């Protein structure tokens, strides 16, 4: 039985979901820059240790983002069907899963920290510096995953303001503790690099406890439900494979760029970091699409789901086109904000113009990603990403190494990857096969 036709989704409503979501997405990279600035005063060795330890932690957490995106898709359907308690129940089960996975991650990393660092940092002083940081920081893994689950169910019930508040409070505590513990200010002990890990830990657990408190306030059953857990793990499996495909592509691109010299890899990294930042901006609109589409489908409102999908996609495409214009106009100025090295500036134009050309495509792709994830179409998304990586990205990357195409080949591969994804998700959206009503 369908609910009453919902009111049209306005630009204000989309922005009301997207802007707080963008704040959550941007908070961590901004805090990481602050952390780097604090630790950087300890010297190059400490900074290298933080970089290696942080890389391991981020790789592990990035593989488990299904706790956020998968939970949003499932919770949004229940919310749209008028079953808020069931939507929050998805958050309860995702939180239990976060605790279990976090415990496994702690045990695995504590046991294998030394050999992991030996492989990544090639042993030596950097590994020795990273080891104590990693042993402390990994204790925050359950907290990171609990926050992901909390973000997931709250987005599902179309509340993106409280997650922003919780994340900012957590990072605020970390930002207060980091310089005091690293450098021994205000009478606190001087812990050096380990102080950064302790500060991170405190902030992460504060945010996690706030998300847990939000569940308790909802007064829903807190017992385990293996049926729901099984469904979440199934969706999570597809999203993990999708994430692995992304990482294989970007690691391969960095490895090949490094073969063409320091200037090439530096130019590649600068533009790739900009690409990642712009992806965060556009991903906030995808989160709005995910929440709104999931709710519409849960309420059996197929026409409304289609309307939301196209409206958000248009907004995202327009935003991406504006960003592309800004970076095109600033092509001779903006790169100099990141480097003054003439060799880097001499080759940065190649990836820069690929970035400009890709942005309008990315605006559509990311929005439709959100639409299909909101519809719970995770298996298709997995297959589309794998196919685009295997056919478009990876062959061009490795051919560029064989034939000496350099950054031209690498960024042509990234562009082919985006174009293929556009074809896949565009076809899927037009086919209407994602328009499956109900909460299943």
In 3D, which of 127, 70, 401 has the Cα closest to residue 256? 401
Mean pLDDT for each consecutive 10-residue tract of the chain (440 residues)? 54 85 84 80 80 80 84 91 92 95 94 85 77 93 94 93 94 93 85 90 96 94 89 85 83 79 79 84 90 91 91 93 93 81 84 93 94 90 91 88 88 92 95 85
Structure tokens at 196: 């950064």
Q: What is the pLDDT of residue 62?
A: 79
Tokens 């056919």 correspond to 391
The CA angle 257-262-263, to the nearest 5 degrees, is 90
In 3D, which of 105, 106, 130, 135 has the Cα closest to residue 120? 130
Cα 119 from Cα 126, distance rounded (Å): 12
Please classify residue 423 by burial: count the beta carbons closer than 10 Å to its beta carbon, then call 0-12 exposed, 13-18 middle and 19+ buried. Answer: middle
Q: What is the pLDDT of residue 122?
A: 65
Cα 73 from Cα 87, distance rounded (Å): 10
Cα 20 from Cα 15, distance rounded (Å): 8
Half-sphere exposure of 397 (CA within 13 A, CB side): 23
131: enclosing H helix or E strand: helix 124-137
Cα 323 from Cα 362, distance rounded (Å): 11
**Helix and strand element counts for the chain (H, E):** 16, 0
Contact indicator for 361, 394 with CB cutoff of 8 Å: no
- Please, what is the end-to-end C-alpha distance for the chain in angstroms? 14
CA dihedral (384, 386, 392, 398) in degrees, to 10, reads: 170
Residue count (the chain) = 440
Please classify residue 106 by burial: count the beta carbons closer than 10 Å to its beta carbon, then call 0-12 exposed, 13-18 middle and 19+ buried. Answer: middle
Query: Could you give the C-alpha distances from 165 to 147, 159, 172, in angstroms and in order?
Result: 12, 11, 10
Structure tokens at 63: 């593989």
State the pTM of this model. Answer: 0.85
Cα 431 from Cα 266, distance rounded (Å): 42
Q: What is the pLDDT of residue 245?
A: 84
Would you list the domain boundaries of the chain?
11-224, 245-431
Q: What is the pLDDT of residue 310?
A: 92
| DSSP assignment string, 408-438 | HHHHHHHHHHHHHHHHHHHHHHHHTTT---S
Tokens 């994340």 correspond to 167
In 3D, which of 98, 94, 92, 99 has the Cα closest to residue 71? 94
Question: Under DSSP, is residue 109 helix (H, G, I), strand (E, B) or coil?
Answer: helix
Q: What is the pLDDT of residue 2?
A: 44
Cα 384 from Cα 191, distance rounded (Å): 47
| DSSP assignment string, 364-389 | HHHHHHHHHHHTT-HHHHHHHHHHHI
Structure tokens at 81: 């069907």
């Amino acid at each position: 039985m369908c609910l009453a036709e919902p009111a049209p989704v306005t630009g204000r409503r989309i922005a009301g979901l997207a802007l707080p979501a963008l704040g959550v997405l941007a908070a961590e990279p901004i805090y990481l820059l602050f952390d780097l600035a604090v630790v950087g005063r300890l010297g190059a060795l400490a900074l290298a240790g933080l970089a290696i330890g942080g890389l391991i932690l981020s790789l592990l957490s990035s593989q488990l983002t299904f706790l956020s995106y998968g939970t949003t898709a499932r919770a949004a359907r229940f919310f749209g069907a008028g079953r808020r308690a069931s939507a929050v129940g998805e958050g309860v089960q995702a939180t239990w899963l976060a605790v279990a996975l976090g415990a496994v991650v702690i045990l695995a990393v504590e046991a294998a920290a030394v050999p992991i660092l030996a492989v990544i940092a090639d042993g030596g002083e950097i590994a020795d510096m990273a080891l104590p940081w990693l042993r402390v920081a990994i204790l925050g893994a359950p907290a990171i995953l609990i926050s992901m689950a909390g973000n997931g169910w709250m987005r599902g019930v179309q509340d993106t303001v409280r997650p922003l508040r919780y994340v900012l409070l957590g990072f605020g505590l970390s930002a207060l503790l980091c310089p005091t513990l690293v450098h021994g200010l205000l009478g606190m002990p001087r812990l050096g690099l380990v102080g950064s890990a302790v500060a991170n830990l405190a902030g992460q657990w504060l945010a996690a406890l706030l998300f847990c408190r939000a569940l308790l306030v909802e007064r829903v059953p807190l017992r385990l439900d293996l049926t729901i857990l099984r469904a979440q793990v199934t969706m999570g499996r597809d999203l993990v494979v999708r994430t692995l495909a992304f990482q294989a592509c970007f690691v391969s691109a960095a490895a090949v760029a490094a073969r063409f010299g320091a200037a090439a890899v530096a130019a590649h990294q600068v533009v790739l970091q900009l690409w990642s930042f712009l992806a965060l901006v556009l991903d906030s609109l995808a989160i709005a699409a995910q929440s709104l589409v999931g709710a519409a489908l849960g309420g059996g409102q197929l026409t409304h789901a289609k309307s939301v999908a196209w409206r958000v996609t248009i907004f995202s495409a327009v935003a991406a086109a504006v960003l592309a214009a800004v970076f095109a106009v600033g092509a001779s100025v903006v790169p100099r904000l990141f480097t003054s090295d003439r060799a880097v500036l001499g080759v940065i134009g190649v990836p820069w113009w690929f970035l400009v050309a890709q942005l309008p495509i990315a605006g559509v792709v990311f929005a439709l990603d959100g639409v299909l994830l909101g519809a719970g179409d995770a298996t298709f998304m997995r297959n589309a990403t794998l196919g685009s990586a295997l056919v478009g990205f990876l062959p061009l990357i490795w051919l560029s190494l064989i034939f000496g195409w350099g950054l031209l080949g690498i960024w042509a591969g990234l562009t082919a990857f985006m174009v293929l994804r556009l074809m896949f998700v565009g076809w899927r959206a037009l086919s209407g096969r994602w328009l499956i009503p109900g909460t299943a």
